[in-house]
Every structure is written in structure tokens, then in C-alpha cells.
Amino acid sequence: MNQEHGKVNAALRKKRLILTIGLSLIASGLIIGIPVGLVSNLSVSKDPLFDVQKQANSISSISLKSDIVENNADYFSLKSKLFESDGTKKSGINFTDFFDFYAENSNSNFEIVDFQNDFQWQKFKLNITDIEALDQEQSFKIYWRVLQNLDDGKVANSDLHSATIAYNRLSSLSNSSLSNFTSLAKSELSKLRPYLIAEFDKSPTRQIAKLTTISEFLTKVNSAKSALEASKIISQYFNLESTITNLLRNKINKFVDDNNFAKNKYSIELIQEPVLKNAYLSKTPLKNIYRAYFSAKFSDDFAKHNNQDLKSSPNFNFAVDLDFSNTFLDGSLANDIELSPFSDSDFTNFSDIHEQSSEKITSWELLNYLKNQVFPSYEEKQAFYKNLLNQISNVPLLSKIKLKNYISRLRNSDLFSKIKIDFNVNPEMTQFALENNKVVTQFHGNIEIYNEKDEIIAQKPFVQNVGDYSVLVKNIPDLTSKVKAVNFEFNQKDAQISERNPLPKEEIQKLVTSGDFTKLKSILENPHYYGVKFDEEKLKLLVQKYDLIPVDELISRSRWTFTYPEEVAGIVNILSPVFPSQEEMLRFYATLAKNDTAFVAKYFFDWLKGLKLIDPAQTWPENLDNLNLFKELEKIKIENKTGFNNFLQEKDQKEKKDIWLISINNNYWAEKGRMPYSFYLHPRLKNIIDLMVQNDQNSINIDYYVDQIKSEASKIQEIDPTIGDEYRSPIKTLTDFIVAFYQNVYSNKTGLLSEPLGDNFDYKINFEITSPIATATQFDDDGFDSPRSGSSSIFNHAAAQNQPVSTSQSRGSESEVAEKVEKDPKVNLKYWYEVGPVDRNGKIILVIYKTQPKEINISTDKNGIIIPEEIEKLNNFVDNFRTTTLPTYLDKDYFNDLWSNINRVVGDKEDYVDITDLIKQFPIYSYFSLHYPELGLAVKKDAVKKPLEQVKPTETTSTESAPTEPAAAAPAPATEPVAETTPAPAAEPAESSPAAPAATTAPAETPAAPAAPPAEESAPVAPAPVAKTVNPTGELPGVYENYPGTDTIKVLHFYVYNKKNPKEFSTKKLKFFVYKSDKSLLNS
């Protein structure tokens, strides 16, 4: 057998090796993965001829199929199957069944073309047009082309190609077997994996991939000076060496040489990317997929055994895609880390019972304390919270970490030599939570994983609930006193009542007895009944989310110019729809103040610079720190840089004050003797500012100054006498302004706990009838309202001197004046608020804070009727419809004509009137009619009560109980200082006396009534019935009115009704704001 085998081998060696595919296979193209859909589109939708040429050119070599060679002993045996004895080709034979065509695939591997299953070839066919037998060379020459059948029935053909394929049993078998080995190698190498834990002890050079970043690994591999070195580096992290060894041991790789020894038939090695030759390992477009490059060829022994030239010996280059997901050190490591919650034992104070503090702190007190702390920087704030969480239990927070999966099985020495674990706390997310029917403080933060370069590699959010603070009090002995010193102050104002249509006392009693306080509150607040305005501003801050507006947006939504009297008085009045109410201003101030001082300073710098109160050329100082911040900000001047000039008269120029007051939306009108939402400097703060500026050694930290401001500001009286002219300190620098801001925040005594307490926390009102319901007997007309004359403000606004006096009118005839009647009883309601977590029905589960009780005294009427549910729905719509988001701008003529036309259409009608034809081009009406086509709008004049002498005995008094609204002429700014979004300019002080008055005068509680408009803007003279309702200021009570303090804005009021039931109207009114401007902005 051995002798015969040797003869066969000798004969085969004498055959001439025609087919050499090695060189063509080495030269591979750029590796680009093409999606299936893209290839299909390219081959169909563009140029079919180009496509078939491209496919034909991609065929790099051709060989006889291995089974054809194996089933035919020699060349002539195969020829007899293809040709007749006379040399003509046999008919009915598919010549393509005899040959393998090799082409480069998308991964730069050379494989046999599969015309049926390969998506790149499915639309193509290969046609062998002719074949010749070359007996002398024992070869076959074939002529072939690639074709594609097109949709229109035509066929696209490539150029004709030819190739000569030798019948070489050894060569053909070898080529096929090398392809098979390459497929096996690719399959095995694609399974490369990092080492198991147990495998690390087998070699000291092995590295843990999970503790190495992919960038570090790639750098090491691709920096190798040779393929052998690169292989060794990969083998430090992956089982590459053992995989190749197992491949070479496979029986497919063995042959028996002439000496009857088994030797390797193939060899395999790592190579660089074939085209650019700059990487052994490269990133692919797919996430976490990396590509390694290999070359498979016949071994030297096998080539020599077959008398082959090594340079012409075939080899296959191929690429292997490796999925490195969750393999290296990256963010996925966070999945292997868990933080266990604190246990009860972690909070047990094991110190002597006599040493334990007898005074404990609650979650409410702790959160209030935390939210009222001011820090120089956010980093210091985070450090404070981190230290607090570390001190809050008997064990460090990091000791609660549990490792899982792969890294849990690593030795600690290996693990922590490569990574470091730490944590941070998010102060802004610290809030309340309900746990086991107990309110606890919930801390949010991140577990952070660092690499050897101290870079954060992975983060994992955590939540820890804490409800026991005994260990914290032990670890920080002075904490209790600090916490108790920070009280949550809710100085609730008395509710304001505007009774109109009281309800029967039985209805009030029923609601109180049943505990339906939500409905009772809704009725009390409804202006149709009692019009009660409860002071809930601070409570709303505790349950409603509020995000600080970006400063760029605030700049774009703010404007400021000096009016003549304000320039004389030294007042800067900034107007912005961002602050439609005092509640919004309070939220803004408190939210901003909770940030670090450097952030606050930069925020105000950007805002004031945007308003040109700081020179636009001024830049933010560099190299600021906690020691020099205020000293550097003192160099930034606050002054009028708008370029606007009021051209003050000489006498006013002499009286002109430096800027001493910066106000928002006219709120310096707010209350007598105080300006809770304006910025000014109290004399108490002067020494602090001097210390800031004179801090030559930069030895005093920011938080010291803020503490001093807080201490001094808390002593400022509720009614501040220093607002008087002789005490005023100018605001000349940004340092002055920042101090004034903190003074404002802390003097209001509202505290900084002004954000949602937690998920599902709310406040609820409670009512109780506190006194017997008694019937009072008195004269029916014994109660004319006391006149309310407008008092002059501290800025001598001339318009305030003519505030109208309102009196109530008798409802009976003169014959009834002296008659005693029995009135319906009044009800005294005590009310208070409770704060806490709520259940799904909105009911408070556990009370964590309760306000001091207040009382209101309301009237009752046995004939009173509750508004139907459908009307309440209309009222709710009015409450939630933001009309001020789309103001209407009219030119002077359109503006004046509008009110004249409304007067004409309404005339003396006492019922609801449709005036929508006059406002169809208003943007707000277009929006309303587009989004709410089922609803309509109508106006209605307020009922005018006739004097007693005009009342005839036969007349009824039905107009008294009609659901009408009072005119909205200048509501008190203490509750509604400005329009809902777009405020009006401030009312101007009289030019003759622009300076601030003496300290004995106090600001008016309401803005002054506006002066009458010029003659050309007045409403036209109306018939007698209309004249009773149109006052000299150009208003139609209940329909439209002047906006307080200006004659360029009017407010138009509309009742809402459902078109399906046009007889039911809302009792509340929408407000449309109409501005007089240079140009009308209307819808076409």
C-alpha cells in the first residue's frame, strides 16, 4: 500500500500546477459591510450593466469542484462526461455544475459563490457559454459571463471572461480543503472569550479584560511591532492561543508525509488589516463589534511534500467579528453592582442610654434644615450631603455594596487594584418618601466606578431611605440645635372674601359634617358665591415641581426702560411675563437661592447684562473662588447702558437718585411699608459689603458672608422704616445686587423649602364650624360700606390721588329703610392645612405638617342655589385657559374703534351679547375657535344698581343676585400684581414730584386708577342707557376695563357657553388682553 501510495504521489508531483489563486486572494479590497437592502437597490434601481460587470469582476478564481475530482480518476475520465468521442460538447449538460467560483465576500473572506443563498448573488446567474478541452495540458478552458434578468424582460450581460482550469487532483483537492479549513477556523475564532476565573492561575501573564478599558486594549494590540507580539497580547486577555492550538490539532489539519509521520497541513496567523495595514484589531460600525484579521495557508511541510512553490501556494485571508459587549471595563460594570438598603440595626445608637440626646429630630425638620442651607459651590453642597449620608448610620454607605456576576468571583486584590468605587449624592433630589406607613428622608445619588486614571467609567443610581436619625445626632452633636433653629415659617395671610351669592347654611353644614372639604373650598373660592382667596402660595411650592428658567430665556422674555419718574426716583422696574404672580416670584427666588453662590452671581450677571444694566462689553471674571468672589464682583458696575434718555428737566436732574431699588413687574406697589419681592439694601448690610470689598487677604469664605446676610436680614422688620428716603443705599455693583438678593430671600422669612416634598405628597384644607350659628337682627340698610379712598404711594403717583369711592346701595325703597328684618345667619369657619403623603384618592395618609388655624366669617342665604355641574365645567375651563399667552396688538385707530363698536353692539342690553364679529381676527380668538369649536363667547355688562330715589314700588331687585363679575380695575398686587403673563408698564408718578416721598407716606395697597385717556381716544357719546355704564375712563363694567396703571392696555371679559346648551354660561370670565401699539398684528 505504501509503495502504491508513493507512486501516486510521485505521479501527481509531475503534473503541472496550473491553478494558482494565492496572489489573487491576498489582494483583498477595503472592508465595508453593505446592508442587504442597499445591495438589492444598487443592483436593481441604478445601472444593471454596471452591476453585472461588478459582480463578474469580483470572481477571483475558478476550480473544479472537489467531488468532481474525487469521482474521476483522471483527466480523460472527466472529459468523457463533458464531450462526445468526436470532441463535440455533450448536450443537456449544465457546465456550471462542474466548477467552483471563488469571490470575496463582505468580510473580505474568499468563499465559493452560493448563487442561491448569498444575498449578493441571488439576483444574478453565471452562464458558461463555451468550453474547450486542452488534452496536451490536461486542462479545460471555459468562457463565462454574469447575467441578470430585468423586470422588463431584458437581460443584462457582463463582458465575456475566460479561464483555464487544470485537472490537478492534488491541487484541486488542496484548494477545496483549505477553504474548508478556513471556514472551520473562522467559526472557532469567532468564539474567542475572556478567561474564566479558574484559568487565571494557570498563567501569571493573563489579564482581566473586565478591568481593562477597550481603548487601552486596542492601543496595546495595534501598537505591537509584529503579528506574533500582537497575538501574545490578545492571548493575555482571550483564549486565542489555545483556540489556534486546538484548530491545528484537528484531524482535518493532518497529513502523512513520505516518512509516514503525521504533520500539520495548514497554518494560521494573525495579520494586519489587508488594505491599510495599520491595525490587527479594528472597530466596526456596529456597537461593541470589533474585527480581527487572519490568514490561513498550507504549512511549509505540506507545500514541500507536494513540491509546491511557497510563494504561489494558495492562502485565504479572512476576518473574524468579535462581540465585546460586557467584556471590557465600561458602563456595563454598573450592572454588576448593587446597593443594599440600610437595615434597622444600621440606625441603632449603641451608646450609653444616658448619653443619648433626649431631643430627637424628625424627617420634616431635617429636610427643612437641608433645603435651607446655602453653599459657596455645588461641590461643597455635594460634599456636605455625602458626609451626612456617611454619618447617618453605623456603617459606611459603601459597605452596603454587593458585587454580582463575573466580578463577584474576582479576588479583591485583583479587583481593587484596577478600579475604585465611590458615591455622590444629588442634593436637589433629596425628598420625602412613605415607607412602612412612616415618612422618611429619601436620598438619591450615584455609585461611581473609577479606573486607574481616576476617570469615571460607570455610574449606577441608588436610593436610600432614612427615617431614624439617632446615629446622625450622635455623630454630629450640634446638629439638633442647628436643625431646631431653622423653622419652617408659613405666615399665612387672612383669606380675602368678596361675597356675592351666599348659600344656605344647611349646605355649608352638610359639607363640613361630611368632610367634603374639597367641594366646600371650591364653593368658597368661586367668585359667584364667596370669592374667597386663600393664601396657599408657600404650600403650593411644597407639592408642585418648578424648574429654574434658563437665563437666556429669561433675558428674551424680560424688558426694561427707565420711565421719567422712575429715573428720577432711582427705580429700575423690570417687566417679564415669567412672573405673573408673587407666587411665581417666590418660587424663582427660592429655587435660585438654593444653588451655590457662584451660580447665583453668574445667573444675575447674565440677566442684568442682557437687560443692559451691566455693560454688554463686560466679561465674567476669571479665576474666581470662594474667597475672592464678592471682591471681584464689586468691580462690575450696575448702571443704565440702554442708551435711552428721558432728558430730565433741570430740577429733576438735581433730584435724581442713584439706582437704589430694582423691582419686577411693578411689585414695589405691593404692600404698605414693605417690598417683599424687590431688591434694595438695608443699612444693616452696609458693614457686610464693606468687609467683602476690603477682604484684601482673601481669607473669608463665601458661606461666612451669606450666613451674616442671613442673620442680619432675619432681623429686618415686616414693615421696614428704612425704605424711607434718608436710609436708601445705592445699588452700584453686582456685589450690592447679590447682597440685596440674599437680603430679600432671608428677610421674607419664607425659607428655602420651596420644592416638591416627594412623590405623591400634597396639602389638604380642613374646615370646622367654630361658633354657634345664630340669627342676627339688624336694620337691612344699616351697613353702607365705608368709603375706601386711595392713599398716595411713596413715589407720589399722581393717579393715586383720584381713586374712586365705592359705596353699597340700599336694596329696598325708602319706606323699607327703617324696617327691621331678620337676616340669614352667618357661619364662622375655622380652617387649616395639613401636609403629607396621599393615597390614590388624594386623601392624606399621614400628617407631617399642620398650619396654624385661621377663621373666615361667611354669610348664608336660605334661597341660595349651587351652580349646576355643567356650569362648573365651564368655570374650570376658564380657570385653565391661559388667555395671556396670545395678546392682541392693535394700532391706535383700530384700538379706539374697537371699544366704540363694543359700546354700540352692547348698547343698553342687560343680557349676554355676542360680539365675536368684532374680534374674529384676534389671534387668541382664532386659537380658541380652532381648538374649542364646541364653545362660544359672550359679554355681559355688570348690573347697575339704581339709586333709592329711582326705585319704583313695582320694580323687582332681581339684578342683585345675577351672576355678575365686578370690574377688574386694579386688583390688589398683594395677590395679583400683574397680568397672568404679559405685564403692563408701571404707572408713572407725576412729573412734578418724581422723587420718593417722606418716610411718613406709605405705598398704596392697589395701583392707582388710571387717568382718563385723551379726548381722541375716549369712547363715543352713547345713548342715555349706555351712559350709565360707561365711565369717564373709557370702561364698560363687566365687558372691558383699563389695565391698572396704563391707558395702552385694556382687558376684555368673556363668559363661556356650550353651543349645545346656549342658555348656560360660565360665572367666571376669560380675559383677553388688548394692547395699543404702532401696528396691528391680526390673523387674516
Q: Has residue 470 got a pLDDT over 80?
A: yes
Q: Is 237 helix (H, G, I), strand (E, B) or coil?
A: helix
Residue 354: exposure state from Cβ atoms within 10 A (0-12, 13-18, ≥19): exposed
Q: Counting beta carbons within 10 angstroms of the beta carbon of residue 808, is it exposed (0 to 12), middle (13 to 18) or buried (19 or more)?
A: exposed
pLDDT of residue 369: 86
Q: What is the pLDDT of residues 282-297, one digit of tens each?
A: 999 999 999 999 988 8
Domain range annotation of the chain: 11-167, 196-328, 332-477, 505-540+759-867, 541-747, 872-970+1009-1076
For the chain, the farthest-separated pair of C-alpha atoms sits apart, in whole angstroms, at 149
Per-residue model confidence (pLDDT) at position 165: 80
Which of the given ranges, 132-141, 592-601, 1002-1011, has the highest pLDDT on average? Answer: 592-601
Band (pLDDT 50/70/90 cuts) for residue 25 is very low
Task: Report the sign of the C-alpha dihedral through residues 510, 513, 517, 521, in that order.
Answer: positive
Cβ count near 278 (within 10 Å): 9
Average of per-residue pLDDT across 56-63: 81
AA letter at 54? K
Instruction: Give the number of other CB atoms < 10 A from CB of residue 925.
Output: 20
Distance CA 700, CA 626 (A): 8
> What pLDDT score was predicted for residue 818?
41
**Predicted confidence (pLDDT) at residue 715 exceeds the cutoff of 90:** no
Grid coordinates standing for 687? 458693614
pLDDT in tens, 146-196: 999 988 889 999 999 988 887 765 555 456 667 778 878 888 898 899 988
Which segment of 702-706, 895-899, 961-965 scores lowest on mean pLDDT? 961-965
Q: What is the DSSP string of 681-740?
A: B-GGGHHHHHHHHT-TT--S-HHHHHHHHHHHHTTS-SS-GGGSGGG-B---BHHHHHHH
Going by pLDDT thresholds of 50, 70 and 90, the confidence category of residue 842 is: confident
Q: What is the mean pLDDT of residues 988-1009?
A: 34
Q: Are strands 854-859 and 888-890 parallel, antiparallel or unpaired?
A: unpaired
Q: Which of 1045, 876, 859, 972 is nearest to 493 (CA)?
A: 972
For the ranges 275-279, 400-404, 1001-1005, the lowest mean pLDDT is seen at 1001-1005
State what percent of residues in the chain have pLDDT above 90: 27
* Nearest alpha-carbon partner for 766 in 534, 420, 433, 1064: 534
Q: Among all chains, which residue has been given the C-alpha cell 508525509?
A: 257
pLDDT above 80: residue 989: no
Task: Give the C-alpha separation, 316 to 109, whole Å.
Answer: 7
Q: Does the pLDDT value for residue 831 go beyond 90?
A: yes
Instruction: Give the mean pLDDT of the chain.
Output: 77
Distance between CA 506 and CA 715 in Å, rounded?
A: 47
Highest mean pLDDT of the ranges 111-125, 490-504, 962-976: 490-504
Is residue 534 scored above 90 in pLDDT?
yes
Q: How many residues does the chain have?
A: 1084
Res 675: pLDDT: 65
**Segment 220-225 mean pLDDT:** 93
pLDDT of residue 710: 82
Distance from chain centroid for Cα 282: 36
C-alpha separations of 157 from 113, 131, 142, 160, 229 in Å? 18, 18, 17, 9, 48
Considering only CA atoms, give the Rg of the chain.
Answer: 45
Gap between the Cα atoms of 390 and 393, Å rounded:
7
Determine the average pLDDT of the residues in 1040-1065.
Answer: 90
DSSP H helices in 760-914: 869-880, 892-906
What pLDDT is stored for residue 805 in this prediction? 36
Residue type, 912: Y
Cα–Cα distance measured from residue 63 to residue 175, given in angstroms and rounded to the nearest whole number: 8
Q: What's the CA gap between 338 and 752, in Å, rounded?
A: 34
Tell me 533's DSSP state: B
CB 865 within 8 A of CB 886: no
Cβ atoms of 269 and 182 within 8 Å: the answer is no
Residue 143: name the closest of 158, 156, 132 by CA. 132
Q: Which is higher by pLDDT, 1059 or 251?
A: 1059
Cα torsion 334, 335, 341, 342 to 10°: value is -40
pLDDT at 482 over 90: no
Give whole-number Cα distances, 213 to 21, 203, 332, in Å: 40, 21, 12
- pLDDT at position 417 is 82
Secondary structure (3-state) at 549: coil
**For residues 94-111, average pLDDT:** 74
Q: Is the pLDDT of residue 387 over 50?
A: yes
- Using CA atoms, how far apart are residues 614 and 636, in angstroms rounded to an integer? 7
pLDDT, one tens digit per residue, over 564-610 is: 888 888 888 888 888 887 778 878 888 888 888 889 999 999 999 99
**∠ CA 229-231-232 to the nearest 5 degrees?**
65
Answer yes or no: are the C-beta atoms of 713 and 651 closer than 8 Å.
no
**Placement of cell 481669607 in the chain:** 699
Higher pLDDT, residue 198 or 769: 769
Residue 441 has pLDDT above 70, yes or no: yes
pLDDT of residue 144: 92
Q: Is the dihedral of CA 649, 651, 652, 654 positive or negative?
A: positive
* Confidence check: pLDDT of 6 > 70: no
The alpha helices in 907-1040, defined as continuous H runs, are 923-931, 1024-1027
Bridge partners for 747 per DSSP: none
Measured CA angle at 322 (ends 192, 113), to 5 deg: 105
Q: Cell numbers 420711565 label which residue?
A: 563
Bridge partners for 141 per DSSP: 132, 164
**Residue 41 pLDDT greater than 90, yes or no:** no
Q: For residue 124, what are the contacts with CB-CB under 8 A and spacing of at least 6?
A: 43, 51, 52, 55, 115, 146, 147, 148
* Cα separation, 64 vs 358, whole angstroms: 97
Calpha distance 100→112 (Å, rounded): 6
C-alpha cell at 832: 387649616
pLDDT-wise least confident of 21-30, 440-449, 934-943: 21-30
Report pLDDT digits (tens) over 622-681: 888 888 888 899 999 998 888 777 888 888 888 788 888 888 887 775 555 556 678 888
In this structure, are strands 289-298 and 1049-1058 parallel, antiparallel, or unpaired?
A: unpaired
**Structure confidence at residue 318 as a pLDDT band (50, 70, 90):** confident
Mean pLDDT of 523-537: 89
More confident residue, 428 or 106: 428
247-251, 900-904, 1018-1022, range with the lowest pLDDT: 1018-1022
**C-alpha to C-alpha distance for 403 and 418, rounded to whole angstroms:** 15
Helices (H), 907-1060: 923-931, 1024-1027
User: Is residue 411 very low, low, confident or very high in pLDDT (cuts 50, 70, 90)?
Assistant: confident
> Which residue in 38, 43, 40 sits closest to 147, CA to CA?
43
Asked if residue 58 lies in contact with residue 104, where contact means CB atoms within 8 angstroms, the answer is: yes
Say what the pLDDT of residue 103 is: 79
Is the pLDDT at 991 greater than 50? The verdict is no
Q: Contact at 8 Å (CB) between 1004 and 791?
A: yes
pLDDT at 719: 66
Q: What mean pLDDT comes out for the span 770-775?
A: 58
**120 grid coordinates:** 449578493
| Segment 742-755 mean pLDDT | 73
Taking 80 as the threshold, does the pLDDT of residue 838 lie above it? yes
Range in 314-323, 452-461, 716-725, 982-991 with the lowest mean pLDDT: 982-991
Residue the block writes with cell 466596526: 284
Share of the chain above pLDDT 70, in %: 76
In angstroms, rounded to a whole number, what is the distance separating the alpha carbons of residues 376 and 382? Answer: 11
In 35-81, DSSP assigns E strands to 59-64
Which is higher by pLDDT, 986 or 630? 630
* 3-class DSSP state of 254: strand
Three cell numbers, residue 57: 469582476
